Chain A
């Protein structure tokens, strides 16, 4: 369904991206976002190997699709309902490297969760980025609910949500597309298909070749994009955003991407993924491909690229050092934000009940004493 539109026709001499209305600065901004997202992501793994953060889950190999598909969203107005690989999507939607790094270090001022969730579970209310959980595909219904509310209230809001192809087998995904199709909601479902659900290949996940055909079951366009083709991703992302904004309903987009890392820092992918496949997949890395396009178009050269690399290193350095320096969360805040109005603490104090009846001389005397302080 998608067409290849990235390469400027050498005969027409048209500038790269001009057919999409993209300016030189916008192209460079897209590339910058990809470079920074990759640099932030790589730093996470280094921090993990250095023993500074216990867990990493990342999006290396997905950046082209993530930046391209989200680039036409309107920050401060639209909604993003991400998943745990959405680093580049989130940065395209305004999340800063410092905010990403706060989640890695799980610091008290981490806007995603105040250190309560594992890294990768981002969310920032002020940016209309919904909090991520670990069960997969639940968020697809939330995005649909946000879009339904926008439609009811006649608000000009587009909601975009993301999942992996493995999650597209979950019931919540199908229930969401079904509801969005019925009510023609302004929502975009992006399946980032990297071919692996942790260790399970596509052939054991589903009988279909392309997840995008599932759109037909819910009467919505199902679009396939090459995740390494950033400008094609932008074109199809913008088209879906325009359809949603113009009341033409939802779109299912399948981005064929590659997973350049293991599933997470707790996964050893060499156990199930052939070495030749991993080597071959490097050719699908969106970064060098977009860089070559920009070079060919004369938008970057050795010098500007070196400058960009140095800049991104500085940004990552700053984000890492700054985030690491922030305070750990205070355990005294552990019971906060269970309810809007906290219930009487007495009923939830694990040492409250009964402790008073235990005599000083009893086997639990120390516990009883401790309870008095709590």
Chain B
């Protein structure tokens, strides 16, 4: 059992999958000799060569469109979009093509590819290197959307994603790449896509989050404990398909829910969770559903004071939860 960072987990899992299955290929901007701007693909070029670890032109639509074609022809591409903020030139390929290929061909064609992209703020990335983009994609039937919050989950979920027969968007929070360390066992374990994880048990309320916010929720639960509030934490892990059962079971038990997401509040992914809880756990709710989110401004500002103002943090989560607990 090794202790490693989130990015080491991603990198070593990519290498293992490429060793296991020669149809797995990596492509993207600077993924080759440089090993990616975050070094998520470092060393892959040396081990597998330039054919299977391909530096592409700066053309995101091409990265995804070529991956779709290659997937149809039998490869399992793992394209990287350098920052999630730059995924939008490829939006049409993801929405109109990858997501719809199976449905529109009535099951004849599929797109087994895993599109990786670092997302999220807190690293002085400003408007165009900090965005949370998951809501756009979780909205689309035909796509799977995965966001790990630990090195252990990153490996198990990345394995499942690469082996999945449908297109998966795998978002990695860039602030977690080196700040989060954890145990990652050897051996070929996987974590099924579609299973949330109760990362802390509690009785007074449920904190629901994913990615960096799932880590912050755990820190908030510590703060709440010292205030005598017992918080349960559920890490969503896979946004689509969503494990509604685990969320509902927790909220039915605690009667209160705080949903945390870093994205803009309006129409963010957590709004869908709120809707499901309102529709399905209505009679168990013992207080309003609360959301702690980024503000509704068009992007994360650069200056550290402004960035801190934007980002949800453990204190802010704990504060909201405390008020809800007292409701």
Interface digits, A155-190 against B, CB 8 Å rule (1 contact, 0 not)?
A: 001000000000000011001101100100000000
* A to B contact number (C-beta, < 8 Å): 159
Binds A, one of B104-112, B180-188, B223-231, B312-320: B104-112
Contact of B59 with A179 in the complex, beta carbons under 8 Å: yes
Q: A142-B68, A150-B73, A339-B142 are in contact. Are A175 and B61 (CB under 8 A)?
A: yes
Residue A344 interfacial (CB < 8 Å): yes
Total interface residues in chain B, CB < 8 Å: 53
Q: Which residue of B lies closest to A172 (CB)?
A: B61
With most chain A CB atoms within 10 A of its CB, the pick from B62, B68, B89, B141 is B62
Q: A125-B105, A340-B165 are in contact. Are A178 and B59 (CB under 8 A)?
A: yes
Residue A262 interfacial (CB < 8 Å): no
Q: Which listed residue, B51, B72, B105, touches A145 by the CB 8 Å rule?
A: B72
Contact of A175 with B69 in the complex, beta carbons under 8 Å: no
Residue A141 interfacial (CB < 8 Å): yes
Contact of B280 with A176 in the complex, beta carbons under 8 Å: no
The A83-124 residues at the B interface (CB cut-off 8 A) are: 110-114, 116-117, 121, 123-124
Q: Which residue of B lies closest to A141 (CB)?
A: B65
Q: A116-B103, A146-B72 are in contact. Are A141 and B279 (CB under 8 A)?
A: no
Contact of A145 with B108 in the complex, beta carbons under 8 Å: no
Residue A149 interfacial (CB < 8 Å): yes
Contact of A113 with B59 in the complex, beta carbons under 8 Å: no
Residue B130 interfacial (CB < 8 Å): no
Q: Which listed residue, B73, B106, B194, B282, touches A146 by the CB 8 Å rule?
A: B73
Contact of A142 with B69 in the complex, beta carbons under 8 Å: yes
Residue A362 interfacial (CB < 8 Å): no
Residue B93 interfacial (CB < 8 Å): yes
What is the distance, in angstroms, from B32's C-beta to the closest C-beta of chain A? Answer: 13
What is the distance, in angstroms, from B275's C-beta to the closest C-beta of chain A? Answer: 8
Residue B233 interfacial (CB < 8 Å): no
Contact of A171 with B72 in the complex, beta carbons under 8 Å: no
Q: Which residue of A lies closest to B164 (CB)?
A: A340
Q: A124-B108, A338-B141 are in contact. Are A141 and B69 (CB under 8 A)?
A: yes
Q: Which listed residue, A130, A133, A347, A357, touches B244 by the CB 8 Å rule?
A: A347
For the complex, what is the distance from the CA of A148 to the CA of B74, rounded to whole Å?
11
Contact of B280 with A175 in the complex, beta carbons under 8 Å: no
Q: A116-B103, A146-B72, A178-B59 are in contact. Are A172 and B65 (CB under 8 A)?
A: yes
Q: Which listed residue, B93, B109, B244, B278, touches A125 by the CB 8 Å rule?
A: B109
Residue A336 interfacial (CB < 8 Å): yes
Residue A131 interfacial (CB < 8 Å): yes
The B47-102 residues at the A interface (CB cut-off 8 A) are: 51-52, 56-57, 59, 61-62, 64-75, 89, 92-93, 96-97, 100-102
What is the distance, in angstroms, from B192's C-beta to the closest C-beta of chain A? Answer: 10
What is the distance, in angstroms, from A220's C-beta to the closest C-beta of chain B? Answer: 15
For the complex, what is the distance from the CA of A141 to the CA of B27, rounded to whole Å?
14
Q: A138-B92, A152-B25, A178-B57 are in contact. Are A116 and B106 (CB under 8 A)?
A: yes
Q: Which residue of A lies closest to B59 (CB)?
A: A175
Contact of B62 with A179 in the complex, beta carbons under 8 Å: yes
Contact of B194 with A142 in the complex, beta carbons under 8 Å: no
Total interface residues in chain A, CB < 8 Å: 54
Contacts of A346 in B (CB 8 A): 244
Interface digits, B186-229 against A, CB 8 Å rule (1 contact, 0 not)?
A: 00000000100000000000000000000000000000000000
Q: Which residue of A lies closest to B68 (CB)?
A: A142
Q: Offer 9 A-B interface pairs, CB within 8 angstroms, sorted by A.
A: A79-B73, A142-B66, A142-B68, A143-B69, A145-B68, A145-B72, A146-B73, A171-B59, A172-B92
Contact of B69 with A343 in the complex, beta carbons under 8 Å: no
Contact of A142 with B97 in the complex, beta carbons under 8 Å: yes
Contacts of B106 in A (CB 8 A): 110, 113-114, 116, 336-337
For the complex, what is the distance from the CA of A135 to the CA of B96, rounded to whole Å?
8
What is the distance, in angstroms, from B273's C-beta to the closest C-beta of chain A? Answer: 12
Q: Which listed residue, A133, A179, A340, touches B100 by the CB 8 Å rule?
A: A133
Interface of B with A (CB < 8 Å)? 25, 51-52, 56-57, 59, 61-62, 64-75, 89, 92-93, 96-97, 100-110, 141-142, 144, 164-166, 194, 241-242, 244, 275-276, 278-280, 282-283
Contact of B70 with A347 in the complex, beta carbons under 8 Å: no
Contact of A123 with B72 in the complex, beta carbons under 8 Å: no
Contact of A144 with B66 in the complex, beta carbons under 8 Å: yes
Residue A354 interfacial (CB < 8 Å): yes
Q: A130-B72, A338-B142, A353-B276 are in contact. Are A171 and B61 (CB under 8 A)?
A: yes
Contacts of B66 in A (CB 8 A): 141-142, 144-145, 148, 176, 179
What is the distance, in angstroms, from A263's C-beta to the closest C-beta of chain B? Answer: 20
Contact of B107 with A336 in the complex, beta carbons under 8 Å: yes
Contacts of B56 in A (CB 8 A): 179
Q: Which residue of B lies closest to A346 (CB)?
A: B244
Contacts of B101 in A (CB 8 A): 131
What is the distance, in angstroms, from A114's C-beta to the closest C-beta of chain B? Answer: 3
Q: Which residue of B lies closest to A123 (CB)?
A: B105
Q: Which listed residue, B70, B109, B165, B283, touches A130 by the CB 8 Å rule?
A: B109
Contacts of B72 in A (CB 8 A): 130, 142, 145-146
What is the distance, in angstroms, from A334's C-beta to the closest C-beta of chain B? Answer: 10
For the complex, what is the distance from the CA of A135 to the CA of B73, rounded to whole Å?
21
Contact of B62 with A138 in the complex, beta carbons under 8 Å: no
Contact of B105 with A112 in the complex, beta carbons under 8 Å: yes
Contacts of A116 in B (CB 8 A): 103-104, 106
Given contacts A135-B96, A340-B165, 7 further A-B contacts (CB under 8 A): A133-B96, A135-B97, A142-B66, A152-B52, A178-B59, A339-B166, A346-B244
Contact of A340 with B105 in the complex, beta carbons under 8 Å: no
Q: Which listed residue, B73, B75, B242, B279, touches A353 by the CB 8 Å rule?
A: B279
